[in-house]
Amino acid sequence: MLSPIRRFAVLLLLAVTAFAAERRPNVIVVLVDDMGWANLGCYGGPVETPVLDRLAADGVRFTQFYNYARCCPSRAALLTGLHPHETGLGHMTFKRTGTSPSKLSERLKMPAAYRGWVRPTVPTLPEMLRTAGYGTYMTGKWHVGNSDPATWPLQRGFDRFYGFLEGTSDFFRPDDLHRGNEKISPDGEGYYTTDAFTTEAIANLRDHATRKPDAPFFLYLSYNAPHFPMQARPEDFAKYRGRFKEGWDVLRMRTLERQQKLGLIPASTALSPRPGATDRLGTEGGEVPAWASLTPEEQDRMDAIMATYAAMIDRVDQNLGRLVSHLRESGQLENTAIFFLSDNGAEAESPPLGQFQLANLGHYGRAWATASNTPFREYKHFTHEGGILTPLIVHWPQGISPAQRGTLSHQNGFLPDLVATCLDLGAATRPATMEGRPAPVVDGRTLRPVLAGATAPLHDAPICLEHEGNRMVRDGRWKLVGFFREPWELYDLETDRAEARNVAAAHPDIVRRLEAAYATWATRVGALPWDEAQHHSVYDADTKYGIRR
């Protein structure tokens, strides 16, 4: 029998532990798909996003936060805190549906960085948070491991999953929809994935409050909007129809002016040129014409395309309003840390004027993608700012002081920082070993000091990224960036956010230093030169955008 003193000590320890668990915040990560930096209202964009604007006004917006240029690699980093190559997704997801054992065996012989799924031995964020006592829930797009159930959400740390496993889905009639490990059909008339994912997420949180009232939760809400196919609810489309008939040239200038007024970019920033005939995406690209050069019929069709795209983002904002209302009504909003971001920049995987017909609602085109990435260069696939810069909104009333609410952070950061932050908030730890060896070096840094107003640089070492031979090194004000098989370019982003003035020739010492940092990083994480890595691609190297022999 315990003595009174020991009994008191045990009770005190239990009380302190319970209090600590109660104080840990809930964590919600909201990811959208293929959305440009310049679409949201609070980032100077033309889409009405009042819910996200309010979250930004009460939180912190980041202006220089990077993803990994493409869906799969970004998701791999977001779910592990490691570089995609360290997880097995140095390129894209290998779709194993219907694949013969011999084909699978071939991929298992390839370098671990390029096999095409997050390796089961790599710890995931939900696994680490669940070990720390969190309930873990996911709705939406998975895309880091498809047909092998060992790579599916329930087997990778989530208590509940509702969504699809592949890279894209019809919004009204998804054919890859799962609840848990079971493939299901969408329910009811008027089904739309953005609505359904939110409804399921809220249901999970309600159930969590009943089953685990004393435990915090982690929710990963991974929308497929505004990824192609371009599909919006009719009422949302009608709201925006006709708003974009002034065209992308006027829209880009107005967006730039709003961004400068909001302090998102320096007042000296100029627009990147409207893309000419030289194209990084192969034969599908080409010159983006001046809006005034289009016929009235073409302008009307372009307006319809952008109205659809804007409507898809608007619907996300509406649904986040439903989620925020639930958190407020359930008393959870104050101590819930919400992170909102995009997996890559706007996509330009089609000709300038898009591929958009009623029979095949496809891509919205390079012209509108240029507007969505205002004022930056390039798009999804590439490591120039237009491809990798994401809006990041962090909202956490209990953890962000009133003095910091509504502020902008110009700190350089990237997806591993987000995972480090979630682990920090959740008092969760990363396993010390992986596959019997010491776990990889983690480059992510918690954002908590930034949220508290710290001005010291978050990173004291260069940030490196690579996708399909497009590579980048960011170190303070300097950014070294290059296209596959092309020379490095160097930009001073303090004075040239739009990457308009390549100063590599003027600073060869900086180029050499950052190039050496990239080489060291690539060796460490397993990022092979693309001339070699493309032979491990999950695609035919002659048919996919951005892959050039």
Q: Has residue 321 been placed in a domain?
A: yes
CA distance 76 to 78: 6
Q: What is the per-residue pLDDT for 9?
A: 40
* Residue-by-residue DSSP string for 361-376: E----HHHHHHHTTT-
For residues 156 and 41, what is the distance between their CA atoms, to the nearest angstrom?
35
Give the three-state DSSP class for 154. Answer: helix
- Residue pair 154/465 in contact (Cβ under 8 Å)? The answer is no
248 within domain boundaries: yes
Least confident window among 54-68, 72-86, 346-360: 346-360
The amino acid that residue 344 corresponds to is N
Cβ atoms of 144 and 168 closer than 8 Å: no
Distance CA 533, CA 89 (A): 12
For residue 186, tell me if it sits in a domain.
yes
Cβ count near 479 (within 10 Å): 25
How many Å apart are CA 374 and CA 396, to the nearest integer?
28
First-last CA distance in the chain: 76
Band the pLDDT of 20: cuts 50, 70, 90: very low
What pLDDT shows up at residue 23? 82
**pLDDT of 283:** 37
Q: Structure tokens of 436? A: 């019997």
CATH of the domain at 233: 3.40.720.10
Contact status, residue 171 vs residue 194, Cβ threshold 8 Å: yes
Residue 298 lies in a domain: yes
pLDDT of 206 higher than 50 = yes
241 has a pLDDT exceeding 50: yes
Does residue 66 fall inside a structural domain? Answer: yes
Number of domains the chain is built from? 1
| 445 assigned to some structural domain | yes
Confidence of residue 361 (pLDDT cuts 50, 70, 90): low
Percent of the chain whose predicted confidence (pLDDT) is above 70:
89
In a domain, 544, yes or no: no
| Predicted local confidence at residue 99, as pLDDT | 59
pTM: 0.92
Give the domain range for residue 261: 25-87+119-452
Considering the chain, what is the average pLDDT of its residues? 90
Residue 93 forms part of a structural domain: no
